[in-house]
Every structure is written in structure tokens, then in C-alpha cells.
Structure 1
Amino acid sequence: MTTRKLVHIIDDEDAIRRSASFMLKTSGYTVETWSNGVAFLKEVRHVEEGCILLDVRMPEMDGLEVQQALNERGITMPVIVLTGHGDVTIAVRAMKGGAVDFLEKPFEKAVLLSAIEAAFGRLASAGSQAARAAEAEVVLGALTPRERDVLEGLAKGLPNKTIAYDLGISPRTVEVHRANLMSKLEVRSLSDALRIAFAAGMGGG
């Protein structure tokens, strides 16, 4: 097992590739950059295993299509999705596809490094899915039925207004439930809450 940590950056923006590459190299990571997903997929069988930073909006194939192609080929490298558009639907699709996290550009160095460490943690503990599911169920046990309903809606990629309509409550009440469930789950970001929800099998259908 190699101790060096390799990050593959797939982004069509040269400036993002350069800045993220510099940031990671100065933090002790090895970096390979790719200008698009098609190029990466062509070589993926021969590249060294690592973590993938994957931009959503790219020509030819967008990030979600690349992610799907990796899944179909059985490539289990952890993926962190980068989006310039904080779009819940894209984030949910990425997380459902197995992404470790999603980050909105411009991202802070600490947030990026934390997500990458989580990705390498997943590489190290591959195969502990059953344990994660059991853990998620325990954590979700702290939520009220209504908070679980709201989390289920979020896991399906629904906006607050739609969740409110479906549950017959006001959008403001949805926001309150959302804040409460985030607090009970001890998470700071929507992606962390979604990770727990998906591990427990929520958001299906």
C-alpha cells in the first residue's frame, strides 16, 4: 500500500486546475490534472488509485455523467464533486452516485482538505458499508418523525417549498425542522446530512 496520497483533478478550467493543484501540492498531496472527464475515463484503468476532484459543468461529459461511467466500470475511487452552482438537485444526484462530498466554488482550503481526508478515509475503510448503515440508523433515531420526513424530502432532492407543500406545513417550519435535524445529527453541511440519510437507505424511489 503506497503512503503517498494522489488526487486527480478533473476540471475544464485551467485556473481551477492550477490553483487547486498548487494548494494540494503545498499540503503534501501528489496531484494529476485532467482537462475533461473523457480524457480521464480513457486512461482510468492505468492511473494510480486516489481521490477524484470532479467538476460538474464540463463540455462533452458533465461531472455526473463521468461519475456514472466510473460506477458502471466498477471504479471505486472516492469522488468529491465541485460545483459553481449550489444546486441541491445536482448535489443529491452526486451523493446518491456515491460522492464523498460536494463543494461549491470558490471553496476554502480547509474545507477542501477536510473533504479529501474523508475521501482517503473511505478508501482505507472500503467495505464498511453495513457498519455505516447501522451507525446511520442509530444517529437518525434521535430525530422526530417530522424531522425524518423533512430529511427524506431533502434526500430526494426536493426544495423546502415542495417539502412544505407535501407535508402540509409552511416553508418556515421546514427550515426550523431542517435546522433542528442538522443540530441533532451534529452536521454542519447538507452534504453531511445527506450522507447519513443515504447510508440509512433514505431518498429512494
Structure 2
Amino acid sequence: MVERVTLHIVDGDSARRAQLARLAFAAGHHAEIYANAEELLAHAPSGGLILAQDEPVGEGVARLLAAMMRAGHWLPVIAIADTPETTAVVRAIKAGALDYLSMPTQIAPLNAAVECAAREADTFRAQRARAAEARQRISRLSLREREVLDRLAEGCSNKAIARDLEISPRTVEIHRMKMMGKLGARHAAEAVRLRIEAAGLDSVAA
């Protein structure tokens, strides 16, 4: 049996909002409705799952997720459209949506999507937490230390970094040592992992 979840329904069409809310209650969930992303973020729910109409198709959910990221607020999102288009599905998933459904009219498909999204959300939250921590650590770096880290992540040697930045290899070593200390990284691979994790958060916000 699917656990009861609060479903936050974001849809500019009042008839569709009401239809989804009725289906949510019939499926044993609680529903809250919002006309747009601004209304959702004004209330900033701390739990549950978002069902968002992808309107305009291919753009609506990506904009919602970007707005949530700017506000520092995240809940798992399931995108919805009357007729999902492949390009729209790909864009929404890349933006961070956990699923993309045709407008549900039956309890079973809705509950299947909610159950799956709830499972994936825990993993996604953990990934985002690691990414946010990595970004916070990297923000401590000076510009030159960040340049050394970026090139280290590209697989460059100290000599190659020195040539690229027009500094001496010894100076690269000094920047690299300071960078590792600020990141709390024990070795280069750990510093590179932090850089990749922080970049992953950027891709979600894009």
C-alpha cells in the first residue's frame, strides 16, 4: 500500500487542478493546489511531492525547478502534460524532475509514480546535500586556487597547469597545497570528486 503523501499540485488551469486534487484524495493522499511557481514558493512547503503541469510544454517544469533552486528550496517533482513530448521529457528530467506523466486519470498510475518518486527522492536529496557541501567548500578558494582545481579536474599535470596559467610549477604546488587544505581533501582524487559534485549542482540549476 502506498504511503499517504502531500501532493502539491501546480497548474494554471483551475479545472485540471481540481481534477488532480480529486484524484489525489481518492488515492488516499492529501492535496494542496497552486496556480503557479510563485504561489508555491510563497508558501514554501517543507514536505511532500510536487505534481507540476509542464506549461509551456518543455519549459514550465524546467522554470519551476530553476526557481526552486534560486530560492534554495527543493521537493521531488513529477512533471505532467496532456501529451508528453520526448524533447520536453528529456529537458524536464535533466532539470531535475523525477518523472514525467501523461495527465493521470486513474489511481494506479498516480500511486505508482508517487511511490517511485518517493524512493528516488531520498537518493536525490543525499546527492544534493553532497553537492551543496562541495560547492560551499569550493567557495573558500581563491581565483588562482580554483583555476588550479579546474585544470586538475581535467587531468592536467602540475607542469601543464604551470604552462597554461603562465606560472612556475613550484607556484602551482603552493596553490595546490593551499587548495587541498581549504577543501579538506586528503589527496587529488578527493579534490576532483568535490569539483565534480559541485558541478553536478550547477547542472541541476541550469
What percent of counterpart residues are identical? Answer: 28
- Alpha-carbon distance between aligned partners in 2 of 1:66 and 1:127, rounded to the nearest angstrom: 17
For the residues of structure 2 that align with 1:112 and 1:20, how far apart are their CA atoms?
A: 10
Normalized per residue, which structure has more helix? Answer: 2
What residue in structure 1 maps to residue 148 of structure 2?
A: none
Assess if the C-alpha contact under 8 Å between 2:6 and 2:30 holds in 1: yes
Map of 1:136 onto structure 2: none
Q: Deviations over 1:41-71 (max 9, x none)?
A: 2222xx231100011116xx83321111113
1:21 and 2:21 correspond: yes
Distance 1:100 1:113 in 2: 14
TM-score (norm 1): 0.53
CA distance in 1, matches of 2:104, 2:46: 27
Q: Is the 8 A contact 1:41 1:66 kept in 2?
A: no
1:109 corresponds to: 107
With structure 2 as the length reference, what TM-score do the two structures score?
0.53
The equivalences for 1:1-205 within 5 A come to 4-44=4-44, 47-57=45-55, 62-105=60-103, 107-127=105-125, 129=127
Partners of 2:50 and 2:76 within 8 A in 1: yes
Mapped contact 1:37–1:63 kept (Cα < 8 A): no
Mapped to 2, the partners of 1:37 and 1:5 lie a distance apart of 20
Shift of 1:80: 0.2
Deviation, structure 1 residue 21: 0.8
Structure 2 stretches lacking a partner, 5+ long: 128-206
Q: CA deviation at 1:99?
A: 0.9
- Residue identity in the other structure for 1:71: M
C-alpha distance in 2, partners of 1:33/1:4? 17
Question: 2:70 is aligned with what amino acid?
Answer: E
Question: Which has more radius of gyration?
Answer: 2
1:30, CA displacement in angstroms? Answer: 1.2
Root-mean-square deviation over aligned CA pairs:
2.6
Q: Partner of 1:181 in structure 2? A: none
For structure 1, the residue ranges without an aligned partner over 5 or more in a row are 130-205
- Write the letter of the residue equivalent to 2:80: L
Within 1, Cα distance between the matches of 2:112 and 2:73? 22
Which residue identity is paired with 1:90? A
CA distance in structure 2 between the aligned counterparts of 1:33 and 1:127, rounded to whole angstroms: 24
